[in-house]
Amino acid sequence: MSKTAPEPSTPSSQAGPVQEKSPTRAPRPPRPNYKHIHRFPLPLSVHPVPPVIPHNPLSIISVVLSYLTFLVSPPRQEVYSAYFDSATSSVHVTDEKAIRALWERGFFGKGSLSRSQPSWLEREKKRRGLLGGNTSEEVTRKRRSERRELKLERARMEKLAIEERLKTEAAARESGAVSDDQSAPTTPANGTANGAATTTEKFSLKKAKEARLQESRNLAQTDNSAVPADSSLKPTNGKTVRFSPVVQETKFPSDSTVALQSPEAIVAGDDADDEPALQNEEHLQLSNEEAFFLVYALGVLRVYDPEQNTVIPTSSLFPLLRHHSFYPPRATSSELQPDDPFMISYAVYHHFRSLGWVVRSGVKFGTDYLLYNRGPVFSHAEFAIAVIPSYEHPYWKDTEERREYAASKQARSWWWLHCVNRVQAQVLKSLVLCYVEVPPPAGFSDDIGAALGRYRIREFLIRRWVPNRSRD
């Protein structure tokens, strides 16, 4: 506690803010059972063989039985459908079941109207009062608004502290006209160091929170025991009274949403009887890499051409996506280059997916990909991947022209590196520079696997090294 903090220091505030925090906080709604929802890492179904137990002959029979049933009626792997939208150069999934499956098993795609998980319908229902509970967007918004309010509170308290200090300084100046050395805040230059270090301590968010709790408690007291409590408070601590209108003001918005919602909810509830089907306006948007992975690697997706309404075979989807990795998309007749952006990014995407990581776009942190362990609902991404093409093959060093081209493609400035590195440090991710060795151009070949096998990946982990910290 700083000496100068003008927070209302009633004895109860010293009693321990930790214990008092829990009752005031609204109980968190139970989280969905993510472990169960996302128990499958890929949108493929697996049928494990029943275990063989040597001393139990029944187990062998069950194994044989399972083989027989698979032979008689092989389980069908669900194949979902999507369509390629050439205008946005992305793949859209509109089927409800497919959206669910692709999101829940492997976290593919992003809701077109949501931050990541397609939750628009749920939010909309919630907004219309059809559904209880919170979607992740709402939780985030609430958390952000709370944080914002706390920051405002902190700023307000700082301002109050400054005013308070100005007042005491003015008072000190008046009295100090008589005796200069008595002025309390102006300590001699040499002596301040220790004192100042403690007094300059600002209001942390935690403190602001405590103060807010204190306020709300005081308010509750005044509400409960109306006038007498108020009058009893006034003489003991004048400041609380000054705080209260502001607190009511800041509390109002959060209350108001609830208040505003309830009449609308009733209306929406009435509407629901009239038109029960609330149309889902949202679709799942797959990046080209995700779509191609689902088609080519897993075979659980069919991509349709929306104009002809025909399935695009993998052999023509591959060049299509490669042509569309440029903007504007290149003509389908133009020759494919081994270093087009899709090839390089897909090689990286496939590499990390095949190792079991959940790979999602890292555009919000200025990188190419983020690697999640199991999925974004379980843990924060630990690694941020920045992809750099690398032209190491002698082919790229043959002519001056190629050398210049390669140099222009693989050069990354130090500014870029430091910027990306600092951002990753701020969001507690480890930066991984992922070099992809680009092979020389090869003739036309249908073999996608062979084409991908010609790329080679090497990861470097970059971290700021702080000599002060590494000394031991």
Beta pairing class for 90-93 and 80-85? antiparallel
What's the alpha-carbon Rg for the chain, to the nearest Å? Answer: 31
Q: How far is the CB of 293 from another protein (least distance, A)?
A: 9
- Give the C-alpha distances (Å, rounded to integers) separating 334 from 118, 244, 329, 330, 385: 36, 70, 10, 7, 30
Q: How far is the CB of 281 from another protein (least distance, A)?
A: 25
Q: Annotated catalytic residue: which of 92, 126, 351, 429?
A: 429
Q: How far is the CB of 61 from another protein (least distance, A)?
A: 16
Q: Is the peptide bond before 328 cis (omega within 30 degrees of 0)?
A: yes
Nearest-angstrom CA–CA distance, 276 and 270: 10
State which residue, 101 or 433, has the beta carbon closest to another protein. 433
Q: Annotated catalytic residue: which of 372, 391, 435, 455?
A: 372
Nearest to 82 by CA among 73, 74, 91: 91
Exposed, middle or buried: residue 288 (CB in 10 Å: 0-12, 13-18, 19+)?
buried
Q: Annotated catalytic residue: which of 35, 97, 380, 397?
A: 380
Helix (H, G, I), strand (E, B) or coil at 32: coil
Q: How far is the CB of 213 from another protein (least distance, A)?
A: 17
State which residue, 247 or 438, has the beta carbon closest to another protein. 438
Concerning whether 380 is annotated as a catalytic residue, the answer is yes
Q: How far is the CB of 235 from another protein (least distance, A)?
A: 29
Concerning whether 429 is annotated as a catalytic residue, the answer is yes
Nearest-angstrom CA–CA distance, 221 and 388: 62
Concerning whether 142 is annotated as a catalytic residue, the answer is no
Nearest-angstrom CA–CA distance, 146 and 253: 11
Nearest-angstrom CA–CA distance, 22 and 27: 9
CB atoms within 10 A of CB 105: 19
From first CA to last CA, the distance across the chain in angstroms is 32
DSSP conformational letter for 181:
G
CA dihedral 32, 36, 42, 48 (to 10 degrees): -170
Q: What would the two tokens of residue 451 be?
A: 């084409």
Q: What would the two tokens of residue 166 be?
A: 């100005």
- Give the C-alpha distances (Å, rounded to integers) separating 392 from 335, 435, 436, 454: 22, 10, 10, 12
State which residue, 217 or 409, has the beta carbon closest to another protein. 409
State which residue, 45 or 81, has the beta carbon closest to another protein. 45
**345 forms bridges with which residues in the sheet?**
none
State which residue, 6 or 129, has the beta carbon closest to another protein. 6
State which residue, 219 or 297, has the beta carbon closest to another protein. 297
Q: How far is the CB of 457 from another protein (least distance, A)?
A: 5
Q: Are 113 and 48 within 8 A, CB to CB?
A: no
Nearest to 244 by CA among 208, 209, 218, 221: 218
State which residue, 183 or 280, has the beta carbon closest to another protein. 183
Q: How far is the CB of 353 from another protein (least distance, A)?
A: 7
Q: How far is the CB of 179 from another protein (least distance, A)?
A: 16
State which residue, 103 or 357, has the beta carbon closest to another protein. 357
CB atoms within 10 A of CB 387: 21
State which residue, 48 or 328, has the beta carbon closest to another protein. 48
Q: How far is the CB of 456 from another protein (least distance, A)?
A: 5
DSSP assignment of 359-403 equals: EEE-GGGTSSEEEESS-TTTS---EEEEEEEE--SGGGGSSHHHH
Q: Are 418 and 465 within 8 A, CB to CB?
A: no
Query: Which residues have a catalytic role annotated?
Result: 372, 380, 429
